[in-house]
Amino acid sequence: MSLIVNEIFNSIQGESLYAGRPCTFIRLTGCNLRCSYCDTMYSYEEGTSLTITDIMDRVSVYECPLVEITGGEPLLQNETPLLITNLIENGYTVLLETNGTIDISRIDERCIKIVDIKCPSSGESGKNILDNLNRLSVKDQVKFVICNHEDYDYAKDIIKQIPCGFLRENILISPVRGKMDFSDLANRILKDKLMVRFHIQLHKIIWPDIDRGV
Ligand code: SF4
């Protein structure tokens, strides 16, 4: 009953509908992708084996009701669903950020899933499991990271495939800083009348020079 954990820290949630809220992050080790813009390469290999009890103890120190499990890709580890359920049973609101290339159906339905859909410039869009779009509940979120116009057009096409019942405001479109001009992306969303949520990584604005633990 243990997982390989890269880091556990408390920060401001910066990448979801919960952006702005204090949140404890559990970053699990390992990823099956190598996205061109990855900013957490240190999570690919580095980590310490911790039991679920150890993790719960470390999380409790922060006295923060919101917890996000991220990576790397957290669903690569077999015990992740159990960790999620344990956290929920202990009263935490749990977010799971996953890269969209692993089936999300075995996750506790009370967990809020933030599912990335990889766009072409990531170099990994061929691995998306688009069936995950049919496994979303109304509280879940879908995220597109956009580097250029090709990515934006790709995202627009995928959004058409997201079932109608899913809230468009739970679809996050996020530009990569330094690659996609923020106002260019915002103008395209307005011109196309996409009822999605334009989204900027808040933690990178608050702590621009820190690349770990935020
Ligand atoms: S899925 Fe996330 S952690 Fe993995 S390579 Fe892509 S950006 Fe990095």
DSSP letter for each residue of 13-55: --SSTTTTSEEEEEEES--S---TT-S-GGGTT--EEEEHHHH
Kindly give the distance from the C-alpha atom of residue 116 to the centroid of ligand 1, in angstroms, as a whole number.
10
The SS3 call for residue 102 is coil
Instruction: Break the chain into its structural domains and give their ranges.
Output: 2-206
Kindly give the distance from the C-alpha atom of residue 33 to the centroid of ligand 1, in angstroms, as a whole number.
6
Tell me the mean pLDDT per 10 residues along the chain, length 214: 96 92 98 95 97 98 98 97 98 98 96 98 97 93 97 96 87 93 96 94 80 74
Q: Are 198 and 170 in contact (CB under 8 A)?
A: no
Topology of the domain comprising 2-206:
TIM Barrel (3.20.20)
Atom number of ligand 1 nearest to Cα 44 = 3
**Residue whose CB lies within 8 A of the most ligand 1 atoms, among 40, 77, 176, for a mutation test:** 40
Q: Taking the complete model, does pTM exceed 0.85, yes or no?
A: yes
Structure tokens at 50: 């911790």
99 φ, ψ (degrees, to nearest 5): -85, 5
Give the residue from 1, 96, 3, 80 showing the smallest Cα distance to 48. 3
pLDDT reported for residue 1: 81
